[in-house]
């Protein structure tokens, strides 16, 4: 029974406090009550914390969009994170494109120029996909996680203490208002007493009222001292937390440097992968024939240099493709030339010659041979070689 009485009294006290705060807040909004202003330093700290929170949220959301453009995938990752479970590994766009290219190249034939180029491009795309996955993981650990920890941890604590400070301020202002009203009531009672009304009963009642108002005034003063002390204590706690925002900025700066370094590594890897791919693919045809068999030329210069001097790139010859003069002269003549191998080639059958990148072989043309091929010799070995894998030397 005593526990129940205690709970009822506590509930009644809490309800009274809440009502007092509500009345004070309403009167402040209506301009009917005074409001205790926070000191300028604390106001600046509160503004700085709010600004930090807003921009951190915006940067965090946009970084998530940058690293994972698919909104459905982001929602799925969010759900797994809240369930404290690891999200399933998902193939990214670069890896998927790379796999499609490799499958297409194998279907068209790895021995053909187009099929081999597709395989090379596919392998590069998969490497870029792996680098992108590493970027996402590094950015999530070194950049996104610290930002999220601030929003969900430090700033929540600041918000909680700031709300407590607001409540303590309302209690303080309500106590000031009650003390002010008690003083006014006591002053009016003293004025009535000074008029010396007739009758003993009236004097007794007036004296009793004065004593009651004086007790109420003393009680209001005591309450004001308590609320002022609690407000000052809460303001100090809030100030100490808010001053930690500067340390948060310093920590986020280190995280930002880690994010920039991760991006730099990613883009450097992508550049190197594409540079290697470009070297493997070599040059492509720049002159095409339209559907009505009338030639229309487009200028596309691709000059390759080597340690032995200026070389002429061999271009693949397909239906409707013009052949470079160097290849045309070689095919029309019965002589042979030296050529440098651009990249590795595995012979598809016994009539072809396997090649190693950067080796120099002898090439020549045979009447009736397919325009995409030349005969190649390396010592006692001989066989057909694709012209797209060669660079004719001057």
373 token code pair: 């091929």
Q: 5-19, 124-138, 270-284, 380-394: which range is least confident on average? A: 5-19
CA-to-CA separations, 353 to 264, 344, 365, 372, 393, in angstroms, rounded: 42, 11, 14, 14, 19
CB count in 10 Å sphere of residue 215 = 11
State mean pLDDT over 109-128.
91
Supply the pLDDT for residue 9.
Answer: 64
Digit-coded pLDDT (tens) for 146-203: 999 999 999 999 999 999 999 998 888 888 887 777 677 666 655 655 555 554 455 4
Supply the pLDDT for residue 207.
Answer: 54
For 310, list phi and psi in degrees, rounded to 5.
-75, 135
Residue 127 or residue 284, greater confidence: 127
CB count in 10 Å sphere of residue 225 = 11
| DSSP conformation letters of 225-267 | HHHHHHHHHHHHHHHHHHHTHHHHHHHHHHHHHHHHHHHHHHH
Supply the pLDDT for residue 181.
Answer: 74
pLDDT value at 286 more than 50: no
Closest CA to 112 of 321, 335, 386: 386
pLDDT value at 291 more than 50: no
123 token code pair: 């392998």
State mean pLDDT over 55-83.
80
Supply the pLDDT for residue 265.
Answer: 95
Digit-coded pLDDT (tens) for 213-272: 555 556 777 888 898 899 999 999 999 999 999 999 999 999 999 999 999 999 999 999
**Residue 302: pLDDT band by 50, 70, 90 thresholds?**
very low
Supply the pLDDT for residue 315.
Answer: 38
State mean pLDDT over 105-120.
90
% of residues, the chain, pLDDT over 70: 71
CB count in 10 Å sphere of residue 85 = 9
Give the residue carrying structure tokens 């030339």: 337
Mean pLDDT score across all residues of the chain:
78
Which helix (H) or strand (E) element contains residue 360?
A: strand 360-364
| DSSP conformation letters of 170-209 | HHHHHHHHHHHHHHHHHHHHHHHHHT--SSHHHHHHHHHH
Q: Which domains does the chain have, with CATH numbers?
A: 20-286 (1.20.1270.60), 337-393 (2.30.30.40)
Gap between the Cα atoms of 283 and 300, Å rounded: 10
Gap between the Cα atoms of 20 and 26, Å rounded: 10
Supply the pLDDT for residue 306.
Answer: 36
Supply the pLDDT for residue 2.
Answer: 55
């Amino acid at each position: 029974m005593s526990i129940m009485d205690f709970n009822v009294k506590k509930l009644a006290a809490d309800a009274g406090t809440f009502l007092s705060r509500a009345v004070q807040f309403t009167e402040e909004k209506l301009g009917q009550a005074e409001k205790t202003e926070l000191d300028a330093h604390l106001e600046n700290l509160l503004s700085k914390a709010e600004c930090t929170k807003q921009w951190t949220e915006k940067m965090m959301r946009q970084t998530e969009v940058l690293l994972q453009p698919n909104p459905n995938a982001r929602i799925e990752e969010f759900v797994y994170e809240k369930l404290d479970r690891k999200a399933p590994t998902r193939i990214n766009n670069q890896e998927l494109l790379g796999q499609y290219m490799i499958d297409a190249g194998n279907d068209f034939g790895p021995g053909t120029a187009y099929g081999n180029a597709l395989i090379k491009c596919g392998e590069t795309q998969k490497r870029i996909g792996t680098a992108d996955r590493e970027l996402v993981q590094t950015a999530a650990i070194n950049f996104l996680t610290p930002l999220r920890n601030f929003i969900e941890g430090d700033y929540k604590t600041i918000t909680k203490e700031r709300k407590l400070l607001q409540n303590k301020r309302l209690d303080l202002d309500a106590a000031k208002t009650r003390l002010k009203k008690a003083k006014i009531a006591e002053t009016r009672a003293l004025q009535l007493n000074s008029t010396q009304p007739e009758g003993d009963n009236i004097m007794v009642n007036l004296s009793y009222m004065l004593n009651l108002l004086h007790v109420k005034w003393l009680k209001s003063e005591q309450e004001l001292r308590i609320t002022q002390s609690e407000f000052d204590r809460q303001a100090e706690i809030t100030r100490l937390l808010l001053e930690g925002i500067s340390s948060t900025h310093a920590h986020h700066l280190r995280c930002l440097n880690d994010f920039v370094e991760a991006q730099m590594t990613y883009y450097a890897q992508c550049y190197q992968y594409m540079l290697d791919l470009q070297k493997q693919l070599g040059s492509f045809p720049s002159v095409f024939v339209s559907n009505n068999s009338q030639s229309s030329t487009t200028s596309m210069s691709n000059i390759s240099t080597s340690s032995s001097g200026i070389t002429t790139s061999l271009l693949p010859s397909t239906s409707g493709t013009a052949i470079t003069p160097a290849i045309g002269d070689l095919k029309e003549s019965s002589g042979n030339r030296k050529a440098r191998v651009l990249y590795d080639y595995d012979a598809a059958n016994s009539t072809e010659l396997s090649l190693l990148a950067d080796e120099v072989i002898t090439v020549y043309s045979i009447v009736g041979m397919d325009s995409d091929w030349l005969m190649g010799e390396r010592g006692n070995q001989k066989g057909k070689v694709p012209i797209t894998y060669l660079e004719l030397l001057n």
